[in-house]
Amino acid sequence: QQYNVAILGATGLVGRQIIETLADRKFPVGSLFPLASSRSAGEDIKFQGQDIEVQDVELFDFSQAHIAIFSAGSEASLKYASIAADAGCIVIDNSSAFRNDFEIPLVVPEVNPHSLEDYRNRNIIANPNCSTIQLMLAVKPIYDAYGIDRINVCTYQAVSGAGKEAVDELAKQTANLMNARPMDNQVFPKQIAFNVIPQIDDFTENGYTKEEMKIVNETQKILGDSTVAVNPTAVRVPVFFGHSEAIHLETRMPYDLEHVKSLLREAPGVELIEDEHDYPTAVSDASGNDTVYVGRVRADISHPQGLNMWVVSDNTRKGAATNSVQIAEKLIEIYL
């Protein structure tokens, strides 16, 4: 059986990656409908060697599609997801618009596939934040074995998480600064080239940013456990593709380090770097593939049940496109 698939945000960084991933993973696509705003309607997108014209989402009839994957930001999701869902199309949404809605499942297929069933409530499934996805793949096996009291996490996030314009801003600033030309910033709140910025998204009332609160709320929702305390600091770094995370967690029961390593070795979607003097990095390992790499797994010398690890993954792939295509794969495998 084949499925007609619409991609909203098809001209964007993640939208293009979704289309590539559908082809790479041989998703059974009948017709592909690339959608964007009127700005880029009429452009061509390549899919399996064919040019397909981008359509204006405003004029699109969603009853033509079985599945729609949205990656055009929260505003577009809030506007079009219910229109698509009401037309009988199942929406997999990459924005943060629906992630905290208790009726809408928030799914990482390797971690909480059972939640997918709730797609029936609204015909909408939310794809988690990129930082949450890689965190979940690394901590879920440990959570299952020992429980987790608390997670401290510092993220080092690539500019591609903020879209195509953000990638262009890092490239332009870098070139300008290296040629002693003046630079300006439009996408990021401060200079991102040769700098790190401890702010992603807006600030909230408690002093954390929205990006940080996404990691807190999404982690608890995916684990189905609001007793897991999460304390994130989300930082933007001048890397194009691939998020890194320094994770410090405290288990509920005493853990055995060798057992933790064996769990990570077996964990789906995860590759453990075994050499204690080696480690994965965003650019040399994660960028361009779908694996979540875990390294520097070691006991915390400051806490008896503390555990440290370093986790990297391509934010546009497993952090966004791949996870949403995997959701679509599970959906057709189990329910359609």
**Pattern 269-308, binding to ligand A2P, x per CB under 6 A?**
----------------------------------------
Residue nearest to ligand A2P (CB): 12
Bridge partner list, 33: 6
13 appears as a binding residue in the annotation:
yes
| Residue 65 CB, nearest approach to ligand A2P (Å) | 15
Question: Do the bridges between strand 148-157 and strand 243-251 make them parallel or antiparallel, or are there none, so unpaired?
Answer: antiparallel
Cβ closest to ligand A2P, residue 82 vs residue 262:
82
Cβ closest to ligand A2P, residue 165 vs residue 256:
165
CA distance 299 to 308: 6
By CB under 6 A, name the one of 5, 6, 11, 295 that touches ligand A2P.
Answer: 11
Q: Within 10 A of 61 (CB to CB), how many other CB atoms are there?
A: 13
By CB under 6 A, how many residues form the interface with ligand A2P? 18
252 appears as a binding residue in the annotation:
no
DSSP 8-state secondary structure symbol assigned to residue 51: E
Bridge partner list, 129: none
242 appears as a binding residue in the annotation:
no
Is 9 an interacting residue with respect to ligand A2P (CB under 6 A)? Answer: yes
By CB under 6 A, name the one of 18, 29, 32, 57 that touches ligand A2P.
Answer: 57
- The window from 130-138, 147-155, 163-171, 188-196 that contacts ligand A2P (CB under 6 A) reads 163-171
What does residue 63 show for φ and ψ, rounded to 5 degrees? Answer: -70, -10
Greatest alpha-carbon pair distance for the chain in Å reads 60
Sheet containing 67-70: give its strands across. 55-56, 29-36, 3-8, 67-70, 90-93, 124-126
Cβ closest to ligand A2P, residue 12 vs residue 242:
12
Is 123 an interacting residue with respect to ligand A2P (CB under 6 A)? Answer: no
- The window from 12-20, 113-121, 124-132, 202-210 that contacts ligand A2P (CB under 6 A) reads 12-20
Sign of the dihedral through C-alpha 117, 290, 261, 294: negative
CA distance 90 to 128: 17
Contact predicate 307/248, CB 8 Å: yes
Question: Do the bridges between strand 124-126 and strand 67-70 make them parallel or antiparallel, or are there none, so unpaired?
Answer: unpaired
**Pattern 14-53, binding to ligand A2P, x per CB under 6 A?**
-x--------------------xx-xx-------------
DSSP 8-state secondary structure symbol assigned to residue 186: S
Is 83 an interacting residue with respect to ligand A2P (CB under 6 A)? Answer: no
Q: Within 10 A of 178 (CB to CB), how many other CB atoms are there?
A: 10
Contact predicate 314/242, CB 8 Å: yes
317 appears as a binding residue in the annotation:
no
Is 163 an interacting residue with respect to ligand A2P (CB under 6 A)? Answer: yes
Known binding-site residue numbers for substrate: 157, 236
Known binding-site residue numbers for phosphate: 99
**Contacting residues toward ligand A2P, per CB under 6 A:** 9-13, 15, 36-37, 39-40, 57, 72-73, 75-76, 163-165
